[in-house]
Amino acid sequence: MKRILCIIAAMFAASVVYAQTDVETDIEAEEVEILEASAVTAQKTLVVMDIDKITYKVEDDVDSKTSTILDMLRKVPMVSVDGQDNITVNGSSSFQVYVDGKLNPMISNNPSQVLKLMPASAVKNIEVMTNPGAKYDAEGVGGVLNITTKTSPAGKSSFADGQYASLTLQGTTRGYAGGLFYSRQKGKWAFSVNGNATRTRTKGATSLIERIQKTDAGEFITTASGDADVRTPAYIGNMNLSYEIDSLNLISVSAGYLESDIVSNTIFNTSFRSPGFEYSSNGNNLSEILTRDMTANVDYQHSWADNPMRSLVLSYQLSGTPYDNINTNYFDNPSSEAFGFVSSRSDGYTNSVTHIVQADFSTPLDTDASHTLNVGAKLTARHNLSDQSNFVFDGKDFVHSSDGSLEYDFYNDIGAVYAEYAGNIGAFGLKAGARYEHTWQNVTYSEGQGKEFRLDYGNLVPVASVQYNISPMQNVGLSYNMNISRPGITYLNPYVDNISDPTTKTYGNPDLEAETGHTMNAIYNYFSPKWIVSMTLRHEFKGNGISQYSFYDGEHILNTTYGNIVSTSTTGLNGFVTWIPGQKTRVIFNGGGSHTDIWSRSLDQRNSGWTYNALLGFQQTLPLDLRFSTNLIASGRTVSLQGWTSGMMIGTLGITKSFLEDRLSLSLTGLSGLTKEMGVKIVSVSEGKDFVSRTTTGIPLRLLSLNLSFSFGKQDNVNVKKSRKTIEQDTQLNSKSVSESIGSLGQM
């Protein structure tokens, strides 16, 4: 996978939060705070931890001024990002992304691509939920990331008129970016809008594919190499509007749009050798992937005057993800038909349109709200469609070919109801609930051969967790959840792609079933003014897991598809440690290791192995209020059913200086792979009973960027409200977390 680095300027940029004490001198947010009750001094804590939720305070991290959200995720506990930008939460790739407590399909559909376009300077917190509870879709209970932006109300109530705006600019060794944010409050109305654009270019990405098929007649050897030039313009925008009818009724509206156009030009050489036959061809591959993601939400919230903690939220969401993929191969000898080495083109279009209607009701069961009941219902109507056309070159022009062309529709409707109890009994925090989801599916074909079908099935998904506060400085907990992963259109699409590489065929499987998994966590948290330690021991099992696998057909073409063919058992330990040795120094460690065992009875294959991921960060405030940071990021080899993929190691350096009471900020940052080529080399090996395939990808990772941001106005006076039923309020087991209690004593 080609890694396209797009570090852009602020998306929602907001003013810096000021920290003030009772002393006469103003103290800046990253500086030392003087504790009112003692002589202890410490920096602000970056992490707030509970059994079901971990909050990383992005705005208090100096790197947030120069990084993307994807970069910041490498520091977030329970989250890892590998060398190809694949994200896992608590060791699982099955997770959902929320923004300000609302499911965001635009990000959930392709988190790594979108989050690398979003600047961390727009974000207040990133919340990680490894046991979200029955309220949230079973498809995402492997983990939920909630991104809280700086436009989120965070429980405030403000009717003061005001406005705030910010401008950001960025120049890098690969391109440039810019963004504008504006917000306005007028009485009960609040409005915010922002837009960002970026253009990047990556040259020198290389790939080498070597495949050997072993047969009774001898070895069939295929070699393909390429050198790519990739250009990526991208645009993203968001709008939020709220109107507080009165103290009991609130209406909010939001909308977002993302457009990313990845255009690559790859010069390649492909060769094939077999007993008595040899063929080689040079060529040129032109590829354009145009992604447009759109989402819109309308929410109405009603609260009760006699019980402010009781609320009803009605929501509607519309989202669409049109996706165009145009792939053209030109060969220097287009008349040759050996192995399909003829100039050809594929035009692919897919789209997923989703309507969601949801109702959530929450009420306390006693006067002090120590026991709460949450119930709700949700209906999701999703229409996936695919229209794929193939063309071949006849010597003069590209003409349509019915061979391989495909058009089909996939309707996937899901109805759900849930009930959940959460309460505190002494030092214990308890949560238990269940969610029932029923799925209706219907697949029809307008062109191409495929099996049309209808089916429906139901899933009952239980969740439970318990927390025990040992002392005000430490707690332990246990949690269990069952999760579902339904295959998306990429996995289901039966279109056969042999344009990208004529020696291979890649296609989905419309007969895939939803996979189910079971996850158990044992958690320990410790807090003090100088130390924060969190450890999570987890075990996950899947019995009908979806896996990619490959095999050779009778024409010596490597086929790659998907199937419910694997069982997976993973045991791992994740750890997060923050050490604050001095007033201006912070050291961060975030990482973990795990062992995975994968087996498939249908393929009669088994694989296992250890892996790790780690980030070691150092932050220091220098004289003249210069803020310096450096990070070492590493990951180990990961295993799949038929092979493994190597890890990577990169390093970052950054320095930031603020002026005009933090309204103007300048930063310089650098990133590089820690190899002699100063890039990243990723090796993937796949091995079946009769073949071995090895892919080596070289990614030039050297990057230097200069960032400038300027803001004016007072953001505290602008409060675009959202529905009160957010993740933060739903999943808190205790009214005040242990780390928040420590924070209130020590003002970390």
**With pLDDT > 90 as the criterion, what percentage of the chain qualifies?**
27
For residue 533, what are the contacts with CB-CB under 8 A and spacing of at least 6? 524, 525, 526, 527, 575, 576, 577
Element housing 744 (H / E): helix 738-746
CATH number of the domain within which 351 lies? 2.40.170
pLDDT over threshold 50, residue 364: yes
Residue 352: what are its φ and ψ, rounded to 5°?
-130, 110
Return the SS3 of 168: strand
CA gap 521, 537 in Å, rounded: 6
- Note the pLDDT of residue 646: 93
Residue 66 inside a domain? The answer is: yes
Using pLDDT thresholds of 50, 70 and 90, give the confidence band for residue 116: confident
CA Rg, the chain, in Å? 26
Least confident of 159-168, 471-480, 521-530: 159-168
> What's at 732, amino acid-wise?
Q
pLDDT over threshold 80, residue 713: no
Residue 179: what are its φ and ψ, rounded to 5°?
-155, 155
- Note the pLDDT of residue 29: 33
What would the pLDDT profile of 549-572 be if each residue is shown by its tens digit? Answer: 888 887 788 899 998 999 999 999
Residue 716 inside a domain? The answer is: yes
Report residue 716 as tokens.
């505290």
What would the pLDDT profile of 293-313 be if each residue is shown by its tens digit? Answer: 899 999 999 999 988 889 999
- The answer to whether the CB of 183 falls within 8 A of the CB of 158 is no
- pLDDT higher for 253 or 488? 253
Residue 376 inside a domain? The answer is: no
Residue 371 inside a domain? The answer is: no
Residue 2 inside a domain? The answer is: no
What would the pLDDT profile of 408-463 be if each residue is shown by its tens digit? Answer: 888 989 999 999 999 989 899 899 999 999 989 888 877 666 667 777 888 898 98
Number of domains making up the chain: 1
What is the average per-residue pLDDT within 702-729? 63
- Against a cut of 0.85, is the pTM above it? no
For residue 254, what are the contacts with CB-CB under 8 A and spacing of at least 6? 102, 238, 239, 240, 241, 296, 297, 722
What would the pLDDT profile of 164-188 be if each residue is shown by its tens digit? Answer: 788 888 899 999 988 888 888 888 8
Residue 298 inside a domain? The answer is: no
- pLDDT higher for 381 or 181? 381
- Residue appearing with tokens 């707690």: 475
Structural domain harbouring 139 = 33-286+310-331+343-361+382-509+520-563+576-746
Least confident of 16-30, 480-494, 699-713: 16-30
Q: 10: buried, middle or exposed (CB in 10 Å: 19+, 13-18, 0-12)?
A: buried
Residue 249 inside a domain? The answer is: yes
What is the average per-residue pLDDT within 499-511? 78
CA gap 137, 98 in Å, rounded: 12
pLDDT over threshold 70, residue 43: no
pLDDT over threshold 80, residue 203: yes
What would the pLDDT profile of 79-100 be if each residue is shown by its tens digit? Answer: 877 666 778 787 667 788 888 7
Residue 198 inside a domain? The answer is: yes
Residue 244: name the closest of 191, 205, 296, 173 by CA: 191
Report residue 588 as tokens.
């961060």
